[in-house]
């Protein structure tokens, strides 16, 4: 499989993950748990609050990474569609 086909396949897999209700539920529940923990934390617990902030950031990075793979796959698919047929 060439690089373009691999990027397209990865894009489809990432899109399926992002569209999967179970994956969405997992992200939503974790994000809610982190925010609830942050809201309930003692203002003096800076280390604990920082850990929760970092956890939310990591969830966003994972989601953004998957979205980036989807975009890359779509770009490769569009590029292949524009190439003349051999």
pLDDT digits (tens, 9 = 90+) for 24-59: 999 999 999 999 999 999 999 999 999 999 999 999
Query: Full-prediction pTM beyond 0.75?
Result: yes
What tens digit of pLDDT does each residue of 65-85 get? 999 999 999 999 999 888 877
Distance separating alpha carbons of residues 56 and 45, to the nearest angstrom: 17
Distance separating alpha carbons of residues 20 and 12, to the nearest angstrom: 12
pLDDT at residue 86 greater than cutoff 90? no
pLDDT at residue 1 greater than cutoff 90? no
Give the model's pLDDT for residue 42: 95
């Amino acid at each position: 499989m060439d690089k373009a086909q691999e990027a397209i396949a990865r894009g489809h897999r990432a899109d399926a993950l992002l569209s999967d209700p179970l994956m969405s539920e997992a992200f939503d529940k974790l994000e809610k748990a982190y925010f609830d923990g942050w809201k309930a934390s003692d203002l003096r617990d800076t280390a604990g609050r920082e850990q929760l902030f970092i956890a939310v950031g990591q969830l966003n990075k994972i989601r953004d990474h998957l979205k980036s793979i989807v975009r890359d796959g779509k770009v490769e698919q569009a590029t292949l569609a524009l190439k003349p047929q051999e």
